[in-house]
Amino acid sequence: KAYWCVIPAAGAGRRFGAAMPKQYLRLGEKPLLLHTLERLAAHPQVAGLMVVIAADDSYWTHGMLEVLGKPLLLATGGSERADSVLAGLRALPSSIADDEFVLVHDAARPCVSAEDISRLVARATAGDGGLLAAPLRDTLKRADADGCVQSTEPREARWRALTPQMFRRGPLSAALAAAAEAGVMATDESMAMERAGHRPLLVEGAETNLKVTTPADLLLAEFLLARHVG
């Protein structure tokens, strides 16, 4: 069985600070976004891609449509990531029922591996959905107002949320809409689902599935892709 994937790609890349949104920066031979789309489209359990781009996007090109013969649809994103994901979910074909699982994957994570996608799909669809996540590696400090250490937080049972995340279309749309309605900015799908009373499964994924946020991340991603890591 194969599932649609919503790819939020409507961010401005402010922290990266480049002249164009980071998803369009060159990563090796081609734009970062194209790496991400090709990886997803190459996976046998991905049925189609719903790419969410900014209303004023001037970088999307038709060349990106040549992605491995899987259907690719475009939707217009919103001001926050959650708005963009919700717009993508709403724009999915009506043939995708509310109880069908969908994947959501950041455009800015070009190094996601096929193995991680497979593991997430297997484990999330066996239950009520879940997300790739990586256990915390460093010692975690809570800062006080002066920038001094207030406390050292236990590292056990702390995870960093990655993508893809995978939930049923209807409940995820409802959870994202409810969070937005309440003025809660959900920074990932799981957060909205948790708020709605669901219990997303943490599926351990590779550290190399990094989100390109800063210029150093882009260099790392380039290295990983060149070495076929991830």
Handedness of CA 12, 16, 21, 22 (dihedral sign): negative
Binding of ligand CTP by 8 (CB under 6 A): yes
Cβ-proximal residue to ligand CTP, closest one: 11
Return d(Cα 45, Cα 226) in angstroms, integer. Answer: 25
Q: Is residue 160 part of the contact set for ligand CTP (CB under 6 A)? A: no
Stretch that binds ligand CTP, among 10-18, 134-142, 147-155, 217-225 (CB under 6 A): 10-18
Q: Three-state DSSP class for 7?
A: strand
How far is 112 from 189, CA to CA, in rounded Å? Answer: 17
Within 197-226, which residues bind ligand CTP (CB under 6 A)?
A: 211, 213
Closest CB 82 distance from ligand CTP, rounded Å: 8
- Kindly state whether residue 107 participates in binding ligand CTP, applying the rule CB under 6 A: yes
Amino acid at site 119 = R
Torsion of CA 209, 141, 193, 41, to 10 degrees: -10
CA distance 126 to 225: 31
One symbol per residue from 2 to 31: x for binding Mg ion (CB under 5 A), - otherwise; what is it?
A: ---------x--------------------
Site string for ligand CTP, 12-51 (x = CB under 6 A): xxxxx----x-x----------------------------
